[in-house]
A and B are shown apart, each in its own frame.
Chain A
Amino acid sequence: MMTQGIWPAVLGRFDWHALPFVRAWENPTASEIIGAGAALLVIIGAVVVVVLITRLGKWRYLWSEWLTSLDHKKIGIMYIVLAFVMLSRALIEAVLIRMQQAAAIDNAGFIAPDHFAQLFSTHGSIMIFFMAMPFLVGLINYVMPLQIGSRDVAFPLLNSISLWLTGGAAGLMMVSLVIGEFSTGGWSGYPPYTELAFSPGVGPDYWIWAVTLGSIGSTLTGINFAVTVYKMRCPGMYLMRMPLFVWTSLCTSILMIFAMPALTVATALLALDRYLGFHFFTNDLGGNMMNYANLFWLFGHPEVYILILPAFGVYSEVVSTFSTKQLYGYTSLVLATMAIALLSFTVWVHHFFTMGQNADINAVFGIATMTIGVPTGVKIYDWIWTMFRGQVRFTVPMLYSLAFMMTFVLGGFTGILLAFPPLDYLVHNTLFLVAHFHNMLIPGLLYGMLAGYHYWFPKAFGFRLNEKWGRISFACWVVGFYIAFMPLYVLGAAGVARRTQGMFDPIFRPWFYLAGVGALILVAALGALFVQLWVSIRERDANGVFAGDPWDGRGLEWSTSAPPPEYNYACIPRVHGRDPFFDAKRRDDPYAPPASYDAIELPKSSMTGPMIGVVGAATAFGLVWHMWWLTIIGVLAIIATVIARSFARHVHQIFPPDEVKRTERRWLRAVAEATPTSREVEMTSVNQGVAEVSS
């Protein structure tokens, strides 16, 4: 029916079997029903959101205040919302993988091999590109401009475009659940398996275009952040006075600028192979698939530091604040960060020690890999010394920091093992590796992002998160992690390959059961996080910190109201040291109003970002399904949008001095009325966001 007349030109290679419902109807196995259920969930979710917004009459508000906003704070929040949505999906997929492997010992299990392969591919791709990246980019977006005393990032419009490219790519991932199927080639998409000869379907194309859109967004973000840090610092904020989170943001941005292009090249060349019959990575006519592994990991290794460095920054802030002590070894932390960033470009071969290059090359890269342990170790010592004899408080962010330090060191040890080529030959591609990188990424990324979320949430929304549920969630994340992943070290050392849909040896069963229980505890952890958010919103009036400084903060970000006004600072601050706000509180009155206020100019909202993101995703969808008309229209529309935007003038809005004055007055009155809180009771509702200062 759809192969006749004009249908092929319109619908490309779409046919009814692309819909999981049809597949489940014709072949009602557990695996297909789960697929259809997931698709249904996406549709219901989308419908519920749309209905809810319509019922509340919030479309206009959403559009003009959020979706088109160029305010770095709102963009940051939207990134983090996206990260949480994608985290939920990827975590559910992880549980399904775990359940299948627990069930499928000498038994087919309940998920078909092809579906299983899609699960680990989406889980990995989403966790890296659409959970971790948006989370850290969102956090940097929110915090970094505040910390350097700026009113926005260097290129606010570009910021919105990056957000929407990332969002469009994440949308494409969601669409792949409902229309068609996803890649079965893992998060790294190695050819020749992902070439047309072996994967003729739409799966790898979804992967290619989602990842490409996301990586373009990340490159642009990196440029934006790097220029912001270089050019937008307030007077007195010399490089060596910047908060550590700004330093790690800068290094992460530099890694994005130079590493993401390698991914773009790898996916683009793979696309040329698949779409135009080129021979970069094919088996025949001179293709060289080893070059793909090389290009992919030229990006892939720096990528793990893109993920981990911002978390290091968060820990530096959190440990110092909740120990009421200056960060120990500031200079060494900065140098260690730079060393890690540079070294991360020199170790990529450790991901393919077994590919066949000679032992000398492997040795060089093995040694380079082990070297990274040194600056990382320096950091751990610095954090420990920061706590030493400090007034340490075990708040939720601090708990995450402590769990990180212990767990991350463990993962680091297994990393040193893997850096040793002969040993890597034994456990390459086993669950040992899976255990290792989760052991790095869960403490080194997820805990860090969650610590940052708890730490800066009061700044962003004006009230603290509930402590009790925070602790419950924390306990689940930590316990769940150990139970879910320690067994994988055992299994991997015993030789169980990763990405395996079924096993035969019953001796593995207890370990897989254990890991399955761990995964369920991790789901509980995420659930507790959502409960916490719900509870905190309900009791927000009791926990308000509008005055803006709930933790006796040290950096500039705590010196404005919570949430900060759109322009961040009524007057651009001037700093005199590394902990400007902390020192100002001890030296003089940091809340003294200025003699007068000036008008403030900020960028107006723009629909360019949403346009480019949505049209970009549609273009990619057209490419996936070979709907060439859609692709052509999409590309032309993007070019037209960019050109049209370059003709726009009057792109700024002005906040008149009176309005600024009114806003500031209201805040300063709240500061004056609040009772200063001592550190002992900062976790109770006594805390109104003004710190008691004893000096």
Chain B
Amino acid sequence: MAKVIKIALAGEGGQGVQSIAEILAEAANEEGKNALYIPNFGVEQRGGVSIAYVQISDGAIGAPKFVKADILIPLSPRAVKRTKMHAGKDTVYIYDNSLVQEAEVNDNVVGMQYFDVTPPCPTADEANRDMQQDMIAGEPKTCSFTKPGPGVDPADIPENVKKVIACPANDIAKNELHPRVFNIIILGAIIAATEVLPLDTIKNALEIKLGDKFKANPQLRDMNFKALDRGYELIKSAM
């Protein structure tokens, strides 16, 4: 039976959790692997945490959701609390230890029966600007993670996991790159932690997804790839 790698990502609406999951799953599919991605969805709530479940395997994939993740990545203090049940003894736990405030969510979808299934592009300058209006739109969400705050409470980090890695993706994005490539750093981190896909596959996937924008603004490509490499290196050295 081929090993199935189970990845759970959780964050605030607007952190781009669903877009990372989607890029990851699509890249795996392009590599000829089996991939399954399912967002959690429901009637949106204020303060709701968005969770994405991704599974990648060379063989068949079972149930769309799972209890214990191989890689669990909660990206906000609230997400850390919400995802405790997914941490197990074999879980590699990567969390963002930036000192950020609880997300300031511009929650313009509170109450909607929708989740960001097709997420807005993470590199857009303005929320929803890039939305393909004539496509099945996911829900536009934005949030700002630029305000300093207490960050994750260390007491909330689960203990009996395989490995805990802190990754200050938000700080790096804000201070070294651009807040918007925050989730691309995380994407790099996942690749390093799972080794399921070569980094180049993801670059390819980004190229396909954001190709037009890269062409219009080559700096964007640079910044995204830098973010990807940065996330990758960070976790590689910690693993």
Query: A and B from one assembly?
Result: no
